[in-house]
């Protein structure tokens, strides 16, 4: 467990809130949907000052398709850096392209794409820039050191945030196209005692 293992397969959305009038109202749905980390670089809320650091990213840029500005399936959870670097470019879909099979992070912090689309997305997002590489190498070393010297610290770094959103309390104006996702929220898992200690 190093914090940089990409999802096991293509992401299937579990939530489908409809009808919000501002992007910010989707935030808690997206936090839960994407496990409180950036879909592009896997930076976690637990590793950063969450306030201001995580953005809501339009996969299809608003400039290209304003009709999808408030469409849940067009929204991603991303760190500030990835959001800025992606900007209004059309890119391969990280939910399809960035999987554990297609992307590997080395101990040096370098990220390797094993498919053409993964390599293209890594290139566009500049995920092998010195800043990103250093960030990953430092986190990998901190986690490895903590695993030996301070396992509680390691668990804390790899834990879910404490403020898990209770999505059942939210009432999107247009309803929820995937209501069964509520049972799968991390909030519900924790209440049922089924939330893994780390991920």
Give the interface with Zn ion as residue ranges (CB under 5 A).
38, 40-41, 43, 79, 82
Q: For the purposes of burial, counting CB atoms within 10 Å of the CB of 35, is it exposed (0-12), middle (13-18) or buried (19 or more)?
A: middle
Asked if 93 and 59 touch (Cβ cutoff 8 Å), the reply is: yes
Residue among 119 and 190 whose Cβ is closer to Zn ion = 119
Task: List CB contacts of 24: < 8 A, sequence separation 6 or more.
Answer: 56
Residue 136 CB, shortest distance to Zn ion, in Å, is 11
User: How is residue 108 written in tokens?
Assistant: 């040096």
Taking the complex as a whole, the smallest distance from the CB of residue 43 to Zn ion amounts, in Å, to 5
Tokens standing for 166?
């209770």
CB of 192 to Zn ion, least distance (A): 30
Nearer to Zn ion, 91 or 167 (CB): 91
Name the minimum Å distance from CB 50 to Zn ion.
13
Minimum distance between the CB of residue 135 and Zn ion, rounded to whole angstroms?
A: 9
Q: Which is nearer to Zn ion, 56 or 79 (CB)?
A: 79
- Whole-angstrom Cα distance, residue 89 to residue 98? 17
Nearer of residues 109 and 181 to Zn ion, judged by Cβ: 109
Long-range pairs of 170-173 with CB within 8 A, sequence gap ≥ 24: 170/17, 170/28, 170/29, 172/17, 172/18, 172/19, 172/20, 172/25, 173/18, 173/19, 173/20, 173/21
Nearer to Zn ion, 82 or 158 (CB): 82
Min CB(98)–Zn ion separation in Å: 11
Q: Which is nearer to Zn ion, 56 or 82 (CB)?
A: 82
Phi, psi dihedrals of residue 11, rounded to the nearest 5°: -80, 130
């Amino acid at each position: 467990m190093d914090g940089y293992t990409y999802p096991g397969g293509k992401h299937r959305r579990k939530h489908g809130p409809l009808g919000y009038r501002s992007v910010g109202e989707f935030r808690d749905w997206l936090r839960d949907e994407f496990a409180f980390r950036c879909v592009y670089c896997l930076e976690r809320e637990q590793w950063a000052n969450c306030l201001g650091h995580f953005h809501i990213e339009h996969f299809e840029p608003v400039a290209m398709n304003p009709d999808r500005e408030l469409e849940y399936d067009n929204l991603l959870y991303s760190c500030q850096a990835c959001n800025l670097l992606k900007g209004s470019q059309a890119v391969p879909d990280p939910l399809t392209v960035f999987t554990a099979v297609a992307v590997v992070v080395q101990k040096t912090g370098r990220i390797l794409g094993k498919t053409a689309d993964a390599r293209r997305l890594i290139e566009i997002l500049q995920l092998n820039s010195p800043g990103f590489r250093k960030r990953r190498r430092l986190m990998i070393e901190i986690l490895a050191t903590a695993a030996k010297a301070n396992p509680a610290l390691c668990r804390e770094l790899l834990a879910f945030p404490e403020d898990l959103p209770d999505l059942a309390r939210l009432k999107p104006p247009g309803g929820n196209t995937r209501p069964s996702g509520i049972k799968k929220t991390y909030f519900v898992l924790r209440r049922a005692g089924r939330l893994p200690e780390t991920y």
